Homo-oligomer: A and B are copies of this chain.
Amino acid sequence: MDVDADRLLQDLRILANFGRKGMGINRPAFSGPDIEARKWLRKSMQDAGLDACIDGVGNVFGSSRNAFSTVLIGSHTDSVLNGGWLDGSLGVVYGLEIARCWLASHPRDGFGIDVISFEDEEGAYVPFLGSSVFSGLLDATVLRTINTRSGKTLEAVLDAWRLSGVPAVRFEPKRCRAYLEAHIEQGPVLETNAKQVGIVTAVVGVRRFHIAFTGQVAHAGTTPVLMRRDAGEALIKFAYHLIEKFRDIAGEHLIWNLGIIALKPGAWYLVPGEGELSVEVRDIDGRTLDAAEAAIHECVNEAAREGNVECRAVKKRQVEPASMDPRMIRIFTEAAKDHGASFMCLPSGAMHDAMVMSQHVPTGMLFVPSIGGRSHVPEENTSTADIILGARVLLRAVELLRESS
């Protein structure tokens, strides 16, 4: 049993035509191209012999009709604006291809492959909408969420696509024994380490903080440095010391980002009266995130002790780290070895549907290398050899899972 490399690549190319714009892909959740792609996927699943539907939140679910024990394989087919052709699509097409292989060679096995494309992983309305609803996490209040570009509510767009009366498919714990998601790495680690496959140990947790500095605008020429309440200088000191603390407490994986700085009024000759700073920390260990959060509050207190500028930190988001199932990690390791694939274990610094699913079912994630580490851009790519090898390792993992159960 082997994947059909040509068929796999052709499906990826077909999928890339929905919402194609130049080299890139514009297929945000519930856009016309997204729904068209989902209809194509449903048809492809049906052609493969799966029972397939588009459910009430846009998830495309293909179910092995004779199986009573399954592995769920999938990811998402919505994209960011001007994204690339592989983010999400790769894992979904892997699932489709592996289901085809499995059904062809095990037509009447009680163990089967279910396939899913979750809706709105990228958060045009609600990040991880599809996997959250599938696993029963969300409630009806999300229907009032508004897309900032279109101004439409989720409820209105579901109505427009005639999905509002359709039930949502729910995860069946008794049927589903594992969720496996393959994805492009979206970073440079595999390429830098010359590895063909990455086995994800955990999806990092994320905490986001908005830091606000309030001083007093003043004419920079006429206000001596010692008489100022300089929100910009307070921000620079804060950021510098915070980065030092982050370096000190950084475990193997702690990563941070200070992505937004804004000073007001923002003029050559005006001492800034207000400053804003965004701080994001990610780690696979909640205790490291706690330490990072404590460091932020230490820096807030230091700023307060300096006394002449107010400093306030507000937590804007907290997502807990999600460990991948140790048995799935072992199985992926064995599968990679069976194919002679060079591999390494690594955390996922980006969030994925696997993070949601891991709260409900043993979950494993497999990465293939991203050329130049790039993603969410039209240039996003993976070598053909790596795409095919990834599918083979995933199929082998399914076989090992079947054998060991």
User: Chain A residues in contact with chain B, CB under 8 A?
Assistant: 185-189, 192, 204, 206, 208, 218-225, 227, 232-233, 236-237, 239-240, 243, 250, 253, 255-263, 266-272, 278, 280, 282, 348-351, 370, 373, 375-376
Contacts and interface: CB of A to CB of B under 8 A. Distances in A.
A349 B223 contact: yes
17 contacts: A186-B222, A187-B219, A187-B224, A188-B223, A192-B227, A208-B268, A219-B349, A219-B375, A220-B255, A220-B280, A221-B349, A222-B373, A224-B349, A236-B258, A257-B269, A257-B270, A269-B280
Given A186-B221, A223-B349, A233-B243, 4 more contacts: A187-B218, A221-B350, A225-B256, A261-B261
A395 B72 CA distance: 92
B225 A255 contact: yes
A282 B221 contact: yes
A278 B220 CA distance: 12
A272 B220 CA distance: 27
B220 A232 contact: no
Nearest to A218: B373
Contact of A349 (B222, B237, B260, B261): B222
B278 A259 contact: no
A180 to B, nearest CB: 20
A256 B262 CA distance: 19
A15 B263 CA distance: 35
B239 A236 contact: yes
Contacts of A349: 219-224
Nearest to A210: B268
B267 A260 contact: yes
Contacts of A243: 233, 236
A279 to B, nearest CB: 9
